[in-house]
Amino acid sequence: MSESVNDAADTSNKPVRLQKILSTAGIASRREAEKMISAGRVLVNGATAVLGQAALPGSDNITVDGQPLTASEKLVYLMLNKPCGYLTTVRDERGRKTVMELVSGVNIRVYPIGRLDLNSEGLLLFTNDGDFANKIMHPSFNKKKTYQLKVRGDVHKAIGLLKLPVAVDDYEVTAVDAQLISQSNNGGVIKITISEGRNRQVRKMCAACGLIVDALKRISVGELSLGNLSTGKWRFLTENEVESFG
């Protein structure tokens, strides 16, 4: 039986930001929790919560979509080989397909770590462990992510440019590594490794270097590789794989 966060003993007696409470309870990542709060889906003592609000988990009555907040029975870690055509979000108000449909068999509430956009595929991690998610997403932990892309354009020139600081929006980024895997008449297949995870960063880097991306697939995060996991399938991480993230 899950322990109710609202009924749990409060040992610190200090208010905690709602997004952290939701993350710790395995409801969503902190970023997704902020969206849930902004959308009015979270109530504290019957009143609609606001972004930035704090609460006492052992004293305040916290509900999400009308349901009391509960802590997960156990911490869960899994990887999905995401296909194209699915949104990386817990819920879409427009009724579009989300990655949650692909992990419905887990039977424990989890949420995706980071993002792969609608037209991207590959390795996507899920968990109900907020600390684990933060280790992967926060830039200070320097978790490398590798992508394989099918592109059009001058791939030889682009490989050199990608290893230099590339202006993307209002900041500069540099690939940890960039390699040419194969070449065709009008482009080829390349592999790019980055240590950040800004919005559509790899696609924007390629565009800045004169490449058009026809397909993008994330093949590894940290020491974890996609391996032979079939498209649309998921599996639990092993204990060693979880520990590899520190």
Give the pLDDT of residue 30: 80
Q: Residues 173-214: pLDDT tens digits? A: 889 999 999 999 999 999 999 988 777 899 999 999 999 999
Give the pLDDT of residue 7: 42
For the chain, the structural domain boundaries read 16-68, 77-139+227-243, 144-221
* Residue 81 pLDDT class (50, 70, 90 cuts): very high
Give the pLDDT of residue 21: 87
The residue-averaged pLDDT of 36-52 equals 93
Q: Could you list the active site residues?
A: 117
Give the pLDDT of residue 169: 85
Question: Distance between CA 179 and CA 163 in Å, rounded?
Answer: 10
Answer whether 16-68 and 77-139+227-243 agree in fold: no
- Domain 77-139+227-243 matching CATH 3.40.50.460: the answer reads no
Cα–Cα distances (Å) from 76 to 89, 120, 125, in that order, read 18, 24, 11
Give the pLDDT of residue 140: 66
**DSSP-based three-state secondary structure for 191:** strand
The residue-averaged pLDDT of 29-53 equals 91
Contacts of 243 (CB under 8 A, 6+ apart): none
CATH class for the region spanning 16-68: alpha beta
DSSP tag of 103: G
More reliable by pLDDT, 97 or 197: 97
Which CATH superfamily groups domain 144-221?
Answer: Alpha-L RNA-binding motif (3.30.70.1560)
Question: Distance between CA 198 and CA 186 in Å, rounded?
Answer: 28
Question: Distance between CA 199 and CA 132 in Å, rounded?
Answer: 20
Q: How many C-beta atoms lie closer than 10 Å to residue 9's C-beta?
A: 7
Average pLDDT of every residue of the chain: 88
Lowest-pLDDT range of 21-35, 80-94, 96-110, 217-231: 21-35
